[in-house]
Structure 1
């Protein structure tokens, strides 16, 4: 379960063995009692959200947008 980074009490990561065939690039976010998943393509899209309030959701989306390249590079580096 590679952790890409941590920010403001949230862990941004993905699972090494998730889905067959492998799902498109995405990141899971956990921390402070929340669990969410976001697709990281040309657009950032929420797959699910369990517990993020609107303020934290906006902050997490901005963080993912700002660090999209880091997420993609870590993903592709791990799965190559």
Structure 2
């Protein structure tokens, strides 16, 4: 999962949900992003499979 905001960037793996890399997000923002990724993991995986199947 890739997240971009202005000059900030983060990449999360979905299995397991884990931060792969980040640039310019602070710890609070990274925690909020991780929570959003975790809460929406099933939807992200579903959309991934729909797109690439």
| Same fold? TM cut 0.5 | yes
Name the TM-score, length of structure 2 as normaliser. Answer: 0.92
User: When you count helix as a share of all residues, which structure comes out higher?
Assistant: 2
Instruction: Give the C-alpha shift of residue 51 in structure 1.
Output: 1.0
Moved more, 66-75 or 27-36: 27-36
Q: Which runs of 5+ in 2 are unaligned?
A: none
Moved over 3 A (4+): none
RCO greater where, 1 or 2, for CA within 8 Å and sep 6 or more? 2
Q: How many pairs does the alignment contain?
A: 53
Q: Of 15, 35, 49, which aligns to 1:76?
A: 49
Q: Which residue matches 2:30? A: 57
Instruction: Give the C-alpha shift of residue 33 in structure 1.
Output: 2.0
Does 1:35 find its partner at 2:9?
A: yes
Superposition CA RMSD, Å: 0.8
CA distance in 1, matches of 2:6, 2:35: 18
Q: Which runs of 5+ in 1 are unaligned?
A: 1-26
